[in-house]
Chains A and B, each alone.
Chain A
């Protein structure tokens, strides 16, 4: 059943997240400050977006052409060539996979995380190469003459807002913005707070956190 595919993905994601406890995790903070639980669906029918829909969404929202957005080893399309079956695709004529797999493969969440990180890294790299066309990592992080100890709070808020707007196509709640802003110190992790590299890493990992969220992956 499709639902087991979803639950499989979720459970393995949780497992992966738990194993990576030393890694910075904005979602941990998110859970701690979440507002009262919304009404739960009595009959949830969420579906996995599948790799193609997922990449098409990110392609449109992050303004990277679909055929350039994610290339494994710089040459294999992440969905079509690399992770097609584990990300819910089919390949009937050669592999005889006529329908999407009904239960998530162990590698499905790993592949999805990899795709999300690929795409976000790609976007921030492009932003740094062509600042005038930047989408996520906009100039102005450190104010005048780079003297600030941390990026300008207004810039951080704006960036968090842009990430949500670009990846999930909605305005984030104040709490969601705060979660990403407070994540900056975890990303810095001993490095200079006003380093452009740290700021770029923060944007990349914030993008990854949002792009690998349930809201981005399921519908």
Chain B
């Protein structure tokens, strides 16, 4: 209860803070500006108009695309505003805003808001700032004379350099450079295809290494921010002083879904758990329901098989996020952030639902400043309301909310099990997970996590074609079909990875 209240308060403060900050920045004697509101749906609507823009690699653009400090607009935002349903009374409703935004964007494409010589549309597609004259597109191509010189150097900085990539694959996936004899042998290979084959073989070998798949290995550590382990409340092996749940289950499932020929959507869809049967070499196996039922008390997974949704219905996830809360907003927000890449606390991934938030638990989230985010977050959270946290012992219970009437009021029991995610209605958490796992956002998040890990930064302006190809390939049945290892085989062949 306390935890949820705190987070609700923080969110409200943040939402309100955006507006407050905008007002605070006005000069004390300046006349009040006409009402101007930053539109929460705008970042996503912008990306619906420009899905291939660099700024939309995560599905939504930054507020700074149109604003200085919201609601104040930058030069580009002012151009858009001037072309946005001129004549209609302000403020525009969300519906009107979404309806007229595409044509307003279209109208300003050939203008140059920051007068840097590059039109708005060129900058949007290149990923540079339309309202900042110092931010301009740049080319990565080498001059012809440099190209020839680079080809004979230790590193070929003008093209994909197989020797560089070969060594990098060993370091990234095996944790150490290839041996000198191995490297020398690679350098003797002249055929380009054979070089690429050897890179693929090295990758295959390293993808099974303990460095990659083992406990505390690379894949394990990729899950840290999603699982948020805390040893003090760990149960199972190596328990902490107050054992609540065993996050080893979560790490094992994460590793499973990201390895071998397994479907990475099982992060959200798995109805099974996984155990490690060998640490070197790493071997993972699904746990039978019989074995699961026979586990000691502190390590059971009480959610029935048919109600499970991968990583977001585990005992640990419920213990650290839902805890004692009726409407588990923190749980939903963490799932949305971890698996779709949308951080609602940063106003990302907002899909306002009409007549929301209802505020079933009387937390005050329907105040205008809070509703900006809670109109998305609350419908996102309802499907989690039947899953118990610490109170209720991590079980699934259709009547769960009746237990909260005494504290949160009678209305809390009216909160539905159905909700909305990414603008789609869902009847329960299983459907929620289905929509999430099949979304573009999920594929982008999975691919983006690996991109950042292996390239060392988020996809850059020049990375967009390769990045888009990878996440779309992850979704495609005929390309990677949600198999991470297949996607990684192509990732290490990108220029982003292999050009020094």
Contact = CB atoms under 8 A, between A and B. Distances in A.
Interface residues of A, number: 32
Contact of A96 (B153, B230, B462, B499): B230
B221 A90 contact: yes
Given A40-B157, A92-B224, A96-B230, A60 B176 contact: yes
Contacts of A59: 176
Interface in B218-252: 221, 224-225, 227-231, 234, 247
Nearest to B156: A39
A169 B177 CA distance: 9
Contacts of B231: 93-94
A1 B224 CA distance: 18
A43 B499 contact: yes
Contacts, number: 91
B224 A2 contact: no
Contacts of B158: 39
A99 B457 CA distance: 13
B171 A60 contact: no
Contacts of A1: 457
B496 A45 contact: yes
A65 B81 CA distance: 65
Interface in B486-500: 496, 499-500
B456 A39 contact: no
A39 B149 contact: yes
Given A1-B457, A92-B221, A99-B224, A38 B153 contact: yes
B460 interface: yes
Most buried by A among B157, B179, B456: B456
B171 A49 contact: yes
B88 interface: no
A99 B453 CA distance: 10
B32 to A, nearest CB: 39
Interface stretch (A10-18, A50-58, A179-187, A194-202): A50-58
Given A90-B221, A93-B229, A98-B228, A39 B496 contact: no
B142 A39 contact: yes
A170 B178 CA distance: 11
A1 B500 CA distance: 18
Nearest to A1: B457
Contacts of B228: 92, 96, 98
Contact of A53 (B155, B171, B499): B171
A165 interface: yes
9 nearest A-B residue pairs (beta carbon): A98-B224, A93-B231, A41-B157, A92-B224, A56-B176, A2-B456, A39-B150, A169-B180, A98-B225
20 contacts: A1-B457, A38-B149, A39-B142, A39-B146, A43-B460, A43-B462, A43-B499, A45-B457, A45-B496, A53-B171, A57-B176, A90-B221, A90-B224, A92-B228, A92-B229, A93-B231, A93-B247, A169-B180, A170-B180, A219-B171
